[in-house]
Amino acid sequence: MKAVRPPVLLVLAVLALHLLLGHEVQRIQDGWVSEGPPPMPARMQVEFVRELEPQAPLVARRATVPPPRPAAPEPQAATQALPPPSAPASSVEPPPEPVVAAASAPVDVATPVAGAASAAATDDEPGPEWPLSTRLSYVLTGNYRGPINGQAQVEWLRSGRDYQVHLDVGVGPSFAPLITRRMSSQGRLTPDGIAPQRYDEETKIILGEGRRVSVFFLGAETQLASGAREPARRGAQDSASQFVHLTWLFLTGREPLQAGQMVRFPLVLPRRQYEDWQYVVVGEESVETAMGWMPAWHLRPARPADGGDLTAEVWLAPGLQYLPVRLVIRQDADNYVDLKLKRAPQQAAPESTDPARRPQP
């Protein structure tokens, strides 16, 4: 008795169905792997070795650049001076550009001036006007569907001309926060300021799924969190880099600090970019911190952001290298977090001039 053979067409159909299902499963798995932005960059490893104590702010150094001549002379040596002890920070008139601020470590007055003599700087040395790697710790209060408490930390990390800024916020107890958010910026330091290359904003909720949005600075274009690409704006900052950029502007005297002054630069937020983002210098105020009452300059946005992007008010302390001693980050009129300095900022030692001895990311 002959065995019954299945029809050839039926066998081929079953095989084709299996191949189709296998291909579809592989496509779905590939989608899972490629979905979302690439992993966040590894955090630079920096050792913080000292606490930054309040000090009288140094006057930004004046650099005299001679006019062009057939035989160009060397730039004149810059000068540096402390304001009189009785004079408030607001009474010190910043010098005209180009300038270099006094750094936290002693600086040779013969150091080339950023911008005016940037050609003399090496590719590895960003210049003395940039703060050393610094960690700032904050106490968090605020409101999100009710009063909230927690902690926050800002880390400004440098390795040669590479930088990272990390703002970590935790709502709830430090050992088991209910909500965490990390805002991270990575890029390069240039004679014209900070040049971000990417920004990541990651939010995690206990017993919930995490969410991350990323912005990429791609030379002539900027890619927003939606994936849309738009023409890049020269000198644009992101949500995290803007705070260090403000520190740099005031530390070097590139922007005057006086009530009513408007500070402008392009700002790229996850959902859209602003060609002319504006901060108003409200004036000098005293901020209560764990180190006592700290004189600081209060800056606030001239307008709220559109589409639910976060905006921030900032208080920069001249006695602490214009670092932020207070930040108020707003989602809208009712939901915000208020960060106040919890302890003295921690700083790293000056970087070695030997690239092999620098911290590696």
pLDDT digits (tens, 9 = 90+) for 283-296: 999 999 888 899 99
**For residue 18, which phi and psi values (nearest 5 degrees)?**
-65, -45
Please report the sign of the dihedral spanned by the C-alpha atoms of residue 349, residue 351, residue 355, residue 358. positive
Tell me what the mean pLDDT of segment 118-124 comes to.
Answer: 42
184 and 165 Cβ atoms separated by less than 8 Å: yes
Please give the helix or strand (H or E) that residue 138 lies within, else none: strand 134-143
- Predicted confidence at residue 82, as pLDDT, reads 36
Give the start-to-end residue ranges of the domains of the chain.
134-357
Given a cut of 90, is residue 22 above it in pLDDT?
Answer: no
**For residue 39, which phi and psi values (nearest 5 degrees)?**
-55, 150
* Long-range CB contacts (within 8 A, 24+) of 178-181: 178/205, 178/206, 179/144, 179/203, 179/204, 179/205, 179/206, 180/204
pLDDT: which is higher, 58 or 337: 337
Q: Tokens 């050992």 identify what position?
A: 175
- Predicted confidence at residue 332, as pLDDT, reads 84
Q: How far apart are CA 143 and CA 86, in angstroms?
A: 39
Q: How confident is the model at residue 226 (pLDDT cuts 50, 70, 90)?
A: very high
Given a cut of 50, is residue 88 above it in pLDDT?
Answer: no
DSSP assignment of 250-277, as one string? HHTTSS---TT-EEEEEEE-SS-EEEEE
Most confident of 29-43, 100-114, 313-327, 342-356: 313-327
Count of H helices and E strands in the chain?
2, 18
Which of 125, 128, 52 lies closest to 346 in space, CA to CA? 52
> What pTM value is reported for the model?
0.70
pLDDT digits (tens, 9 = 90+) for 338-351: 999 999 999 999 87
